[in-house]
Structure 1
Amino acid sequence: MVIWIENAPIFVPFDAESEARVAEFVDLVSTTDSDDPLIREFIKYQMHKCIQTCKKKARGHVDCRFGAPFRPMDKTRILYPVDDDKPEKDVLTKIRDLNKKLIEMLNNKPEEIDTFEEMLQKLNCTLYLYLLAIRVNLRHPTIFIKRDPKNTRVNVYNKLILTLMRTYIVDYVNKSSRGLSKLLRDCVEEARQGNKTLREKLKALAHILYNSSEICSQEAAWSRLRLPMCKCSDLVEFINTSHSSKRTHILKSNKEIAELAKSNPTSTDIFKKGSIDHYASRPNELEDLCLADFVANYTFNVKAGTTFQEDENVEIDAEVEPIDNGEERANSRKSKHYVLKDNSGTIVERRSPKVIRYCRFSIEQDEENFLREMCLLFLPWRNEKQDIEDNDCANLYLQNREIISTNYSKFNAIDLDINDILRDIEEERRTQEQVEEANDPENTNLEEDDTFVNVYDFDDNVVRPDLSNEIGEASSNQGAISKYIVPNLYGDEEYFKLCDSLNTEQKDYLMLLISCFKNDNDLPIYHFISGGAGVGKTCLTRAIFQSLTRIFRNQPGTAKKNEIILAASTGMAAHNIAGITAHQAFHLTTSHGNTNSMLGPDIANTMAAELHDLKLIIIDEISMLSSELFNQISSRLKQIFRTTQEFGGKSVIVVGDFNQLRPVGGTRTFMPKNSGSPNSTSILTENLQWSLFKLFKLTKVMRQRDDLRFAEALNRIPLGETTAEDIEMFNSRSFTELTLPEEGKNAVRLMRANRVVDAYNLSKVRILEMNVPGTLKIVHRAEDRFSGNITERQKNQARNAIEKLEKKDTQNLLTELQLVTGMKYMISSNIDVPDGLFNGATGTLRFFEVVNNRLQAVYLEMEDKDIGKAARSKRRALMEKNKIPLNWTPIFKIKKAFNVLKKGIVQVTREQYPLIMAEGITVHKSQGLSMPNVTVDFISSSMEREMKYVALSRATTLNGLYILGKFVPPDKPGPNDPVKVEMERMHNECSLVPKFKNLREIGTSLSIISHNVQSLHKHISSISSDLTYINTNIILCQETWAVDNMQYNIPGFTEINRNSFGGPMSIAQGTIIFVKSNYLNSVVPTRARRFEAGKQHIDITSCIVDDSILILNIYRNPGSKIAINYYLDMITEFEYVFVFGDFNEDLSKESELERYLASIGLKLLSERKSTTNSGTTLDGVFAKCDFMTEVNIYESYFSYHKPLCLKVYTD
């Protein structure tokens, strides 16, 4: 309740008389007295009892967010924050001890302390120190009411009002939902402890809500009808000051468009007109009126007296309903009406101006749009495109600054400092000119000695505007559309080599995907590829992209469309797979609390056009992507593709290992979003997006000899199954600081805590300065600019607050950065992910580029030579001119914005080099890196299971791992460990079974595979590496391109029959039969035959199995009219016959060949399904037998044709 009281005193800061009047007034209307007999029966309802909702955790302990127990005070006082000069260190120590002792005293038995003076005696402190302890935590003048120690939990009240509020108190005591929150917390805790199904969770939740909550019918009806909850006297209108090309518009009604088509068929005027359109058509009498004045002070009517807003292309706040103002309407009738020039309606001056809102672009973050917006709103114009957008808005602003300033001041309580703006513009232009002049390779007037000067310590204030970095990659409604990266397609040889290198597990999955997308089966798919260190997740991801891209495109070449998005949770992981970050790909917001925000229509529409052909999304390092962002990706795709299907109905493959570190500041991917909060009820629900996914787990380690043993030992760490041999192996790499080899000293050191990392890096700086002659050092302070309607005092508070912020709170841009040549540095913010300049890329600082005594760039020698190629190429001329080694990569300052102070009222734009020292880094920072040499520090601080696993697995080999201290194996994960529970659930309920796994099973049956291989010489390695071929008895190859003098070797097989060409060049013809060596005794070859008629030909090879089964292997070239039936004379001689081949005849329906074979007792065994990449059915199996048979169509990544697999059960 808010009560307005007459004749209240006005507070004047630092005025003793004013303070006394305010204190007297406060004592008059409020109290904390608990001894008054008139209110004794009510005082128990004024006691503050801390419940779950008012508890907050800060600095490791739990406090009440309302400040209870409240501070006792001898009289009502007004206290001020301490001056900018903080108390001495010993005084602060006394204050901390005093506060701790006071809280303990007030929480125990404050009623035993009678007076304020007695409390001071027990605390053994003076009144000055007691008040000082309160003031150090204040940010503004604050009233502390008179309060005895025994009343530290009594809420302030007014005696008269309290006695009149009995009805409220009775309602409060009897409110029906008073225990609901506790029941919900109990339900959440029970759900966390047990592995309940979603049905069980919802049942428990429904029971609580059904039995614990009541609502009256009137309130329910009001809420369902969405009636306004409050009313206001002033209207608020939003003016969309975005560029005209980026504004949204409302279409005219179908009736209006139909009438327009009749009257003017060529017209493109299909949108409703809004305030900006009406302003452009204002009458000449209002020529000097600016847009802001027009919108605030005039109402548009279709005809005089009739307000027209409902269909207008304007945005009126709908949170509140405007009060019907009869006086306004009456005044409207008396006011003069102006007819708009386009005759679309009239405008009338309002009695009460509207409140206007607009985009409010920041000059620090988007100078171009800021200046355009100022001119658009506060400078009169007629044609927006000609007068504003086609003009240089900086010059326009400078020429009309007085008009703009005057109009701006009408709508803003705090005026802009025009001089600051002008100075900013001039400085930006001057600096840009200097930079361009310095970087111009044709500028022969630039002297080398004057250009680059090595200096040691200066404070740089150079401005290098970079709005793309300043806006940030994760803005939901700003910034350019993401540039989707498409990795280069491999040539045939490189592609086949990649796929041939896959192990059986990897190939099983690849063939499953190829089948799904070739045949459009079971789409969309949602798969999770999991596995530990060294199992080849990245290699499989690369093979998936290359294979499916070939399917999606008829021929390899330069990509024109985005059929596949390769994304990752971090820039480092994105670079590893040649993709982009998930934030860039889907315009994700960086705040976990704002994951439901929608994209602007302009961005959504552009993304929809860019991703028109999108079929598959691959997200790597899924363990580092929070559930909140995972949900946001699905929401983005729903919006882009205008569907309610999760992920926009597109297939999604996620790759990663949940045994690694969890997402920073978010919930694990597979958990319901926001369920990480202790008070969240999200745990009672299901993660709808994650519930779609099936698990495919890679288990086979793809490493050799000692590295295989090392990788297997690593993968046992997260399971808590480390063996004695593993411990011995890890401790064989254990060292002390004294025994650490030189390689270990020079390697990146991984530690747990930031403070230890910082101390180690500073020690490396000192070592470099002492031991390495010529070491140069620059201490570079960030330049911070403040924006927002803030006072000078708030600016000072913001400066002090910034000094206390951690790196993560300042967008990873340091307040003070020590730049030392010879030191390793890590890029701390994504600069250019495609070029490898991502958050996590490391290199050694080699050179400072200084122009006119200002630092322009620093140069790093990157550990990966491919990183920074594009950046080096852009500055190649300058680097050659100044004799800078061409393998050094330039790094420039970037701008990032962040908020400080309470509720983020001050926005800070920081300009700094995105670098941090990286001789030592935290384990969190290392996730996703692979290093040939790495030192893991177990001495400085202990590490839990997942951290040990991540730290040790950064090393690619055992010999590259150096351990400081002893390796102690972690415990097994507990029964309720979320990762263990989820992986067991997925293994039991939604494991992905490879579609073709059964084809390679070895049994007692006769197994034959038939395939048009399109050159055996080219694809022999692909056949030899596939167990589906190797585990069969007989391999039949068509279109082998074989020549007589060429031998083909498949391990474990013997060639028994061939139909080849004399040469010397191979052509598209030929058939060959291979038989497994241990099956040779059962097979007898027959004569190979070839029939030709010009360019038409038929090639036939055959063999006899167990003296009773005839097998024919046939290839007929495309367009051949030669009838096969003339050359199958052997069929009638055998009881059992199988005819395989590429017949180049449409077998999807009954063909002439099929009718002939049916006439002699053979029927088609294979299905009438596609056997080629283009969907045709040209390959088949015919048989005459009474055995049980099974025919499957396999997949191929190297041939246009698909293999046919036959199993004959002869037993």
Structure 2
Amino acid sequence: MSRQTKLPMSGLRSVKRDFSSNSVPSSQDSGSSQRSGIIESEKKLKDIKKSLEHQSLSSQKLLASREPRSSQSSSSSSSKRPAESQMAPSAKRRQFPGSWTSAPQQNTKPTSASKSRQISTRPNSHANSKAAEVELSHEQKYILKLVEQGQSVFYTGSAGTGKSVLLRQIIETLRKKFGIASDAVAITASTGIAACNIGGITIHSFAGIALGLGSAEQLAGKVRSNKKASSRWLRTKALIIDEVSMIDGDLFDKLARVGSIIRKNVEPFGGIQLIVTGDFFQLPPVTKGPSGQVKFAFEAQSWLQAVKKTFNLTQVFRQKDPQFVDMLNEMRFGNLSETSIAKFKSLSRAPEYEDGIAPTALYPRREDVETSNKAQINRIGNVETHVYTAHDSGAIHKTDQGAKMLSNFMAPAQITLKIGAQVMLIKNMDDTLVNGSMGTVVGFHAREMDDPMYSGAPQSGSSGSTAKKYPMVEFTSGRTFLAVPEMWKVELPNGEPQVVRHQVPLILSWAMSIHKSQGQTLERVKVDLAKVFEKGQAYVALSRATSLEGLQVLNFNSAKVTVHPKVVKWSDTLETVPT
């Protein structure tokens, strides 16, 4: 079990050592232990080579001993793998040494290949490895206990304080409490992207209210005519709402009233236990009130009655540098000191990395992301190229609603990869290969077709060979990994799959949208604040970085660092967890 070290704190209204969010090599998300590389003897190499040439093996036991250990993973809740004890026995899989399998590279910059390599393959996405155990902080344990006792809570925190880590623990705890086969626990979020990240559906889909237009009574009538939607309301005992900051106050009130009508209970949401989380200092509600002014969920008439306890997480896990934590905390409240402004301006320099992997540029518009990534991959030139098209399925994947759900996945419908392409892993594999890990494609190789664990998995098309080839990626850690298709899905609380996508777990990482980066942890980030236009965008973008050394900021302007005054005032009402 990984232990959390004493880290900087991120308190509301105190601009010293305070802060919040989720995703990669934090002490919680990826665990503190790093697995050592696999040491291979010359004897094993010869035996493996002979086996592929259909020659007899003189040391079957040695080869079998190379089966990878069961690793613990902080995999996303949308695709948990069963324990190995639950899986059918399978043939041992070979792991190829880097000197043997890596294809010759053309027109690519040298990377950290001189490091000791560990070549990895893994079973297909239907069998996710166990989530890495984490030891929660005192704050997180306190909130988890209240949830387990049946209390309705809201918790927040600055970027990097482990909100998503705690949410995964809450989901796991509630499923154990009510039964994993039951639809008593409804996992929802304000947006499709956020819902996909936690293995749930949008709050609109759960509620059966479509766009949420009309009065609460009109929406309740619509829900009554939808047997599945009304059944969800009646069967749900705990309702989770993530990224609540993007839900406006009027919609929150409508949802609270619809729940009361359908469940015939005067309490907001019909008395369902609520677990609500999000950061109001980040992205604001998508819609505005009749006056054109933003109305936050905490301004809803039903908020105080629906959410009895509201907490602020203060311990930061993403950033370890106290100075950086202080700078981000000042930015969060829109109150930057002259010292912090000078430091942010000094970050316009271009950091140099020995492995040649550039920082990920964050843009507010998706069009800029696509243009940047396309331009970068076209610069590589004429090298081995493969196109991977996703295999989609599910009850509604051919409908307009299904298409919208599929577009929210981090995994693209189609991706073109070349040797030398800079990529990001978008799935947690184990404690050293996690969502957000950066690397370079160094070759394309066929996975072991004789491994029964690969049978039945949809396969993407590739060029230049009849055998299916998949990208071999060398990550900044020096570890090399064969990226075979993984699975993403959206399912109803009863487990019914709405849309399912199989795709290689990679995206081009030269650029990413700020919206999709929310919740991510990135070691190398580049942000041009001249392109930022929405309140909270600058804070979201810059707080993705783990350190000042890995952050490049262009056109820094303190005027771009804005926060809504309502949020600042409301934050004074939040409770802190008692010590």
Deviation at 1:948, TM superposition (A): 0.9
Match of residue 653, structure 1, among 254, 275, 300: 275
C-alpha offsets along residues 381-400 of structure 1, whole Å, 9 cap, x if unaligned? xxxxxxxxxxxxxxxxxxxx
* Structure with the larger RCO, 1 or 2 (CA within 8 Å, 6+ apart): 2
1:933 maps to which residue? Answer: 524
SS in 1 for 2:142: helix
Shift of 1:561: 1.4
Question: 2:410 aligned with 1:773, yes or no?
Answer: no
1:659 partner amino acid: F
Give CA-to-partner distance per residue, 1:396-435, whole Å, 9 cap, x none.
xxxxxxxxxxxxxxxxxxxxxxxxxxxxxxxxxxxxxxxx
Q: 1:863 to 1:752 in 2, by over 3 A?
A: closer
Measure the CA separation in 2 of the matches of 1:873 and 1:715: 49
Paired residues of 1:562 and 1:614 also in contact (CA < 8 A) = yes
Larger radius of gyration: 1
Aligned to 1:720: 334
The answer for unaligned runs of 5 or more in structure 2 is: 1-76, 85-129, 389-399, 430-434, 436-453, 471-481, 489-502
What does residue range 1027-1042 of structure 1 map to in structure 2 within 5 Å? none
Q: CA deviation at 1:978?
A: 2.3
Alignment of 1:105-124 (within 5 A): none
Conserved 8 A contact 1:733-1:961: yes
Partner AA of 2:567 in structure 1: V
Q: In structure 1, what is the equivalent of residue 314 of structure 2? A: 700
1:839 to 395, 400, 409: 409
- Which residue of 2 is the match for residue 949 of structure 1? 539
* Residues 627-684 of structure 1, C-alpha deviations (whole Å, 9 max, x = no match): 34434433443344233432121121210111112133x13xxxxxx24526x9x99x
- Residue 561 in 1 paired to residue 182 in 2? yes
| CA deviation string 1:415-456 (max 9, x = no partner) | xxxxxxxxxxxxxxxxxxxxxxxxxxxxxxxxxxxxxxxxxx
Cα gap change, 1:960 to 1:599, in 2 (>3 Å): farther
> Does the C-alpha gap of structure 1 residues 535 and 917 become closer, same or farther in structure 2, counting only changes over 3 Å?
closer
Contact 1:530 1:657 in 2 (8 A): yes
Distance 1:753 1:691 in 2: 35
- Does residue 711 (structure 1) correspond to residue 329 (structure 2)? The answer is no
> 1:587 & 1:675 partners in 2: Cα distance?
23
Q: Is the 8 A contact 2:192 2:405 kept in 1?
A: yes
Q: Distance in 1 between matches of 2:220 and 2:547?
A: 45
In the alignment, the residues of structure 2 paired with residue 592 and residue 605 of structure 1 have an alpha-carbon distance, to the nearest angstrom, of 20
Instruction: From the two aligned structures, give the one with the greater helix fraction.
Output: 1
Matches within 5 A, 1:598-677: 598=220, 600=222, 604-610=226-232, 612-664=234-286, 666-667=287-288, 674-677=289-292
Distance of 1:610 and 1:944 partners within structure 2: 35
SS in structure 1 at match of 2:193 = helix
Q: Work out whether 1:749 is the aligned partner of 2:356.
A: no
Matched, 1:543 2:188: no
Q: CA deviation at 1:875?
A: 3.8
For residues 284 and 192 of structure 2, what CA distance do their matches in structure 1 show? 17
**Deviation of 1:952 (Å):** 0.7
Could you tell me how far apart the structure 1 residues matched to 2:537 and 2:460 are? 44
Which letter does structure 2 place at the counterpart of 1:949?
Y
Q: 2:427 — aligned with what? A: 864
535 and 604 in structure 1: CA distance in 2 versus 1, 3 angstrom threshold:
same
CA RMSD of superposed structures (Å) = 5.0
Amino acid at match of 2:173: S
Distance 1:762 1:676 in 2: 41
Aligned twin of 1:887 = 483
292, 297, 300: which one aligns with 1:687: 300
Matched, 1:763 2:375: yes
CA distance in 1, matches of 2:459, 2:235: 40
Q: Please state how far the C-alpha of 1:546 moved relative to its aligned partner.
A: 3.2
The residue that corresponds to 2:137 in the other structure is 503
Distance 1:691 1:873, change over 3 A: farther
Distance 1:536 1:512 in 2: 17
Which of 967, 970, 992 is the equivalent residue of 2:556? 967
Deviation at 1:755, TM superposition (A): 6.2
Following the alignment from structure 2 to structure 1, what is the Cα–Cα distance between the partners of residues 78 and 229?
Answer: 14
Q: After the TM superposition, which residues 227-266 of structure 1 pair with which residues of structure 2 at under 5 Å, given as runs?
A: none
Residue 153 of structure 2 corresponds to residue 527 of structure 1: yes
Match of 1:505, SS state, is helix
Deviates more, 1:643-652 or 1:632-641: 632-641
How many angstroms apart in 2 are the aligned matches of 1:891 and 1:538?
20
| Partner Cα distance (2:560, 2:468) in 1 | 56
Q: Secondary structure at 1:597's aligned position in 2?
A: helix
- Identity of matched residues, %: 25
Q: 1:658 to 1:878 in 2, by over 3 A?
A: closer
Q: Amino acid of the residue matched to residue 839 of structure 1?
A: F
- 1:830 and 2:410 aligned: no
- Closer/same/farther in 2, CA of residues 740 and 947 from structure 1, 3 Å limit: farther
Q: Any idea what the Cα deviations from partners look like across 1:971-1027, whole Å, max 9, x if unmatched?
A: 8868x822223333xx1xxx4575xx4xx6xxxxxxxxxxxxxxxxxxxxxxxxxxx
Show the 5 A alignment for 1:1157-1196: none
1: distance between equivalents of 2:522 and 2:207? Answer: 30
What's the counterpart of residue 982 of structure 1?
Answer: 570
C-alpha contact 1:562 1:611 (8 A) present in aligned 2: no
Residue 720 and residue 705 in structure 1: after superposition, are their counterparts in 2 closer, same or farther (change >3 A)?
Answer: closer
Deviations 1:1144-1163 (A, max 9, x none): xxxxxxxxxxxxxxxxxxxx
* Structure 1 residues 971 and 576, CA gap change in structure 2 (3 angstroms): closer
Deviations 1:303-337 (A, max 9, x none): xxxxxxxxxxxxxxxxxxxxxxxxxxxxxxxxxxx
Count of aligned pairs between the two proteins = 390
Measure the CA separation in 1 of the matches of 2:248 and 2:532: 25
Task: Give the gaps of 5 or more residues in structure 1.
Answer: 1-483, 518-524, 668-673, 779-810, 814-827, 832-836, 849-859, 893-912, 1001-1211
User: What's the offset of the Cα at 1:949?
Assistant: 0.1
Counterpart code for 1:760: S
Mark the CA change 1:705 to 1:496 in structure 2 (over 3 Å): closer, same or farther.
Answer: closer
Question: Which one-letter code corresponds to 2:201 in the other structure?
Answer: I
Inter-partner Cα distance in structure 2 for 1:711 and 1:490: 38
Alpha carbons of structure 1 residues 506 and 874: separation in structure 2 relative to 1, 3 Å: same
What's the CA shift string for 1:312-365, capped at 9, x where partnerless? Answer: xxxxxxxxxxxxxxxxxxxxxxxxxxxxxxxxxxxxxxxxxxxxxxxxxxxxxx
Under a length normalisation based on structure 2, what TM-score does the superposition of the two structures give?
A: 0.54
Equivalence for 1:46: none
Give the Å deviation of 1:876: 4.2
Q: Which amino acid aligns with 1:509?
A: I
Contact 1:861/1:887 (8 A) holds in 2: no
In structure 2, the CA distance between the partners of 1:584 and 1:919, relative to structure 1 (3 Å rule), is: farther
Query: How many angstroms apart in 1 are the aligned matches of 2:417 and 2:556?
Result: 39
**In 2 relative to 1, CA 608–992 (structure 1 residues): closer, same or farther, beyond 3 Å?**
farther
**Contact map agreement 1:753 1:922 (CA 8 A) in 2:** yes
3-state DSSP class of the match of 1:722? coil
Answer whether contact 1:487 1:578 (CA < 8 A) is retained: no
**Cα gap change, 1:775/1:977 in structure 2, threshold over 3 Å: closer, same or farther?**
same
For residue 292 of structure 2, what is the amino acid of its counterpart? S
Say if 2:188 and 2:200, in contact at 8 Å, map to a contact too: yes
Question: What CA deviation, in whole Å up to 9, does each residue of 1:262-311 have, x standing for no partner?
Answer: xxxxxxxxxxxxxxxxxxxxxxxxxxxxxxxxxxxxxxxxxxxxxxxxxx
